[in-house]
């Protein structure tokens, strides 16, 4: 049987052509798929870029993570990036600021960005304050932890608020910015938006150590700043403890224990005493009552820097040992309850009726 090589050759050419056509089609399909992916990525990038611009334009806080000190960043000794929430938290913890106080500040903004900004503001004030306190050129100031409490208690806080992004709101934005927001723009923002809160701190009292006794007026100014700041610190502690008792009562079936009631009543009286002293300053520029409460602590500090021969009477009334007014307690039990809650500290002068013999005693609270 004769074999036709011509026919075989033609068959091979047809097969090769079909194979090349199939490869060409595969290449074409691959190019089209790549082109589709590139187009999709470009569309997504453009949409993201527009959303970022819109958020910057409108001041939107939508899309931020829920407020949490524990979200992201990990734990342990992992180094945190500068400018992040975790970075500022680490600094404040290094300054011995209480975790609960940090959380309270962070929550004031209502959004992650605003919370981080509030932490940064606190760090920008507290860190140089701590450095100055340790320089030896300053005295009469607070610890970083107490300074932070004072900052929180006197801060001006604007709460965050949620607004509905309804048709009227969008219409107002289009008029304001002279542009049109299509449905895709609007969908990207959702139905509500959080307007971040803001926190503004008042300056912390800082007192320069006098270089000689000729700086008497400067010393008096230092003493006034000191006693006022001490009052704010104690009031902040009292408010915190009082809030805890209120929360207990708010719970279903919640009620205060006998010790809670004793503590509550004492805190009411103590708060009133401090308020009365502050009123004397406000109405009559009279620091006498506040000096009698906190002045002795300031006198101790200035004597450390100026020496035992410093004339405390130069400070005015309330700073001498005889002017010192003890913290009043009705009973020894009442003192024990308040001491256990950390509302009096070692070195405080207290008075109470001793249970064993009914004698009223006056003593300095010993170290724990």
| Residue 366, CB-side half-sphere exposure with 13 Å CA sphere | 2
Domain boundaries, the chain: 80-160+196-206, 161-195, 207-325
Residue 191 near residue 146 (C-beta atoms within 8 A): no
pLDDT in tens, 138-154: 555 567 777 787 788 77
Give dist(CA 277, CA 293) in Å, integer: 9
Residue 274 near residue 234 (C-beta atoms within 8 A): yes
User: What is the C-alpha radius of gyration for the chain, rounded to an integer number of angstroms?
Assistant: 34
Q: By C-alpha distance, which of 262, 367, 277, 266 is closest to 325?
A: 277
Task: Quickly count: other Cβ atoms within 10 Å of residue 279's Cβ.
Answer: 12
**pLDDT at 303 exceeding the cut of 90:** no
Give dist(CA 228, CA 42) in Å, integer: 60
Rounded to an integer, the average pLDDT of 258-268 is 96
Residue 119 near residue 105 (C-beta atoms within 8 A): yes
Which backbone phi and psi does 207 adopt, to 5 degrees? -120, 120
288 or 36: which carries more pLDDT confidence?
A: 288
| Residue 253, CB-side half-sphere exposure with 13 Å CA sphere | 0
Q: Of 162-171, 211-220, 352-361, which has the strongest mean pLDDT?
A: 352-361
Q: By C-alpha distance, which of 168, 163, 172 is closest to 191?
A: 163
Comparing 168-172, 285-289, 304-308, the range with the smallest average pLDDT is 304-308
Report residue 276 CA to chain centroid gap.
29
Q: By C-alpha distance, which of 99, 88, 108, 97 is closest to 130?
A: 97
Residue 327 near residue 238 (C-beta atoms within 8 A): no
pLDDT in tens, 177-187: 787 778 877 77
Give dist(CA 273, CA 261) in Å, integer: 19
Which backbone phi and psi does 152 adopt, to 5 degrees? -65, -40
Q: Report, in this order, helix, strand and coil percent for the chain, each rounded to 5.
A: 60, 10, 30
Neighbouring-strand partners of residue 350: 327, 363
Comparing 81-90, 159-168, 232-241, 243-252, the range with the smallest average pLDDT is 159-168
pLDDT in tens, 67-79: 445 544 434 444 5
Give dist(CA 294, CA 236) in Å, integer: 15
């Amino acid at each position: 049987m004769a074999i036709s090589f011509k026919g075989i050759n033609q068959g091979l050419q047809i097969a090769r052509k079909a194979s090349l056509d199939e490869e060409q089609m595969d290449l074409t399909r691959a190019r089209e798929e790549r082109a589709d992916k590139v187009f999709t990525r470009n569309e997504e990038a453009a949409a993201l870029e527009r959303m970022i611009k819109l958020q910057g334009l409108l001041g939107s806080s939508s899309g931020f993570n829920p407020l949490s000190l524990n979200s992201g960043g990990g734990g342990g000794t992992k180094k945190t990036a500068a400018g992040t929430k975790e970075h500022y938290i680490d600094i404040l913890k290094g300054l011995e600021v209480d975790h609960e106080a940090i959380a309270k500040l962070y929550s004031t903004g209502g959004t992650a960005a605003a919370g981080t900004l509030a932490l940064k503001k606190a760090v920008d004030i507290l860190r140089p304050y701590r450095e100055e306190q340790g320089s030896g050129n300053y005295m009469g100031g607070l610890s970083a932890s107490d300074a932070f409490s004072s900052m929180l208690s006197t801060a001006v806080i604007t709460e965050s608020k949620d607004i509905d992004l309804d048709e009227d709101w969008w219409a107002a934005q289009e008029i304001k910015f002279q542009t049109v927001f299509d449905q895709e723009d609007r969908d990207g923002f959702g139905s509500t938006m959080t307007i971040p809160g803001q926190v503004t701190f008042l300056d912390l009292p800082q007192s320069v150590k006098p270089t000689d006794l000729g700086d008497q007026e400067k010393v008096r100014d230092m003493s006034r700043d000191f006693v006022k700041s001490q009052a704010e610190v104690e009031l902040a502690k009292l408010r915190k403890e009082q809030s805890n008792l209120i929360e207990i009562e708010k719970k279903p079936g919640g009620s205060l224990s006998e010790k809670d009631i004793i503590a509550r009543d004492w805190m009411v009286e103590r708060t009133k005493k401090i308020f009365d002293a502050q009123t004397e300053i406000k109405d009559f520029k009279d620091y006498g009552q506040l000096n009698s409460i906190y002045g002795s602590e300031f006198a101790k500090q200035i004597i450390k820097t100026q020496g035992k021969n410093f004339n405390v009477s130069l400070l005015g009334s309330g700073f001498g040992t005889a002017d010192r007014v003890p913290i009043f307690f009705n009973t020894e039990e009442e003192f024990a309850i308040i001491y256990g809650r950390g509302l009096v500290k070692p070195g405080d002068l207290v008075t109470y009726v001793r249970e064993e013999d009914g004698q009223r005693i006056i003593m300095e609270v010993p170290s724990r």
